[in-house]
Structure 1
Amino acid sequence: MVYFFTETEFELQDQDFYRDWIYACIDKEQAKIGNVNVIFCDDEYLLEINRNHLQHDYFTDIITFDYSDESEINGDIFISIDRVSDHAFEYDTTFDKELARVIIHGFLHLLGYNDHTEEEQKIMRQKEDESIDFLYHDSEE
């Protein structure tokens, strides 16, 4: 099951819509979801997690903790709404599209996709784009 929580003033609207989209994306990857928590927070909250758990002292848009096993994906996905907002402006896209990109990015990590090398980043971006196209194509029908 996918659960949404917030540690900031942001509240995800139409959670069932996003949940259904995530399930469809995971299904396309022929994977099964166990329990995944998506926690929306601000920059400072995520910076503390970054410092305490990863020993990184910088802002980031997402941190994913993977607890998956061979049978299903499980984990915690922390997303900074501040970074999503800034990146939407920086990349000249809507907040909703950038939020969707970051959400699915976390799930792709849980599916085993990485983004350390240039080739991995290319694959990750392709998977993100496919998922976002699926979201917006599906929601227009």
Structure 2
Amino acid sequence: MEITFMDQTNSVSEKKISEIDDLLQFAANYLELPEDTEMSVTFMDNAAIQVINRDYRGKDAPTDVISFALEEEGEDEIPVIFDEEDAPLPRVLGDIMISTERAKEQAAEYGHSYDREIGFLALHGFLHINGYDHMTPEDEKVMFGLQKEILDAYGLER
């Protein structure tokens, strides 16, 4: 899977980006995604993610992670369908935005490491762009169960 990383904060080390890439590659293999799958991860501060949260979700406050799934159809949207035989295209999942500031705050609140929190948020966003959600108790059970299963299998513990 090809992942484009962007660090608007200039504070995420290449080592940390590599670790998150490894986790997301592991998750992609776990979900058996095609090799030519693409996505992006952007690291930003609380102020930047607050603007996105306000503009796209109507919540004027910083949040930890926001995901935009490209395969998800919104209201009144028509699906874009290509003939795979004529032009095989990669599967583009979407974009994940993570507030590194909020990740640090939450790591302290929850009593675990920043590494665990940033990995958790990346995986959480990854599951969202793969169609998982937690809007109902049933969906939450499925998504959070899979999230724990992947984190445990990868070895990223609290």
TM over 0.5: yes
> Does the 8 A contact of 1:73 with 1:111 survive in 2?
no
- Match of 1:116? 135
Q: 1:82 & 1:5 partners in 2: Cα distance?
A: 15
C-alpha root-mean-square deviation of aligned residues, in Å?
A: 2.1
- Match of 1:79? 98
Deviation at 1:120, TM superposition (A): 2.0
Per mean C-alpha deviation after superposition, the further-off stretch among 29-38 and 104-113 is 29-38
Q: Find the partner of 2:145 among 126, 129, 139.
A: 126
Partner secondary structure for residue 3 of structure 1: strand
> Does the 8 A contact of 2:93 with 2:130 survive in 1?
no
1:46 aligns with 2:65: no
Per mean C-alpha deviation after superposition, the further-off stretch among 73-82 and 37-46 is 73-82
Question: Structure 1: any 5+ residue segments left out of the alignment?
Answer: none
TM-score for both structures, normalised by structure 1: 0.85
Question: Structure 2: any 5+ residue segments left out of the alignment?
Answer: 73-80, 82-89
Higher helix residue share: 1
The one-letter amino acid of 2:25's match is Y
Q: 1:92 & 1:17 partners in 2: Cα distance?
A: 21
The one-letter amino acid of 1:48's match is V
Deviation at 1:43, TM superposition (A): 0.7
Q: 2:51 & 2:106 partners in 1: Cα distance?
A: 20
Q: 2:4 & 2:148 partners in 1: Cα distance?
A: 23
Aligned residue-pair number: 137
RCO higher in structure (CA 8 A, sep ≥6): 2
Deviations, residues 28-82 of structure 1 (Å, cap 9, x unaligned): 2122353211000011100001111222212210111111389734211000111
The one-letter amino acid of 1:6's match is D
- Match of 1:31? 33
Q: 2:19 & 2:45 partners in 1: Cα distance?
A: 23
The one-letter amino acid of 1:85's match is K
Larger radius of gyration: 2
Superposed structure 1 runs of 4+ greater than 6 Å apart: none
Q: 1:102 & 1:13 partners in 2: Cα distance?
A: 18
The one-letter amino acid of 1:78's match is M
1:4 aligns with 2:23: no
Deviations, residues 106-138 of structure 1 (Å, cap 9, x unaligned): 11011110011223223222222222222327x
Q: 1:123 & 1:85 partners in 2: Cα distance?
A: 27
Q: Percent identity?
A: 28
- Match of 2:84? none
Per mean C-alpha deviation after superposition, the further-off stretch among 98-107 and 8-17 is 8-17
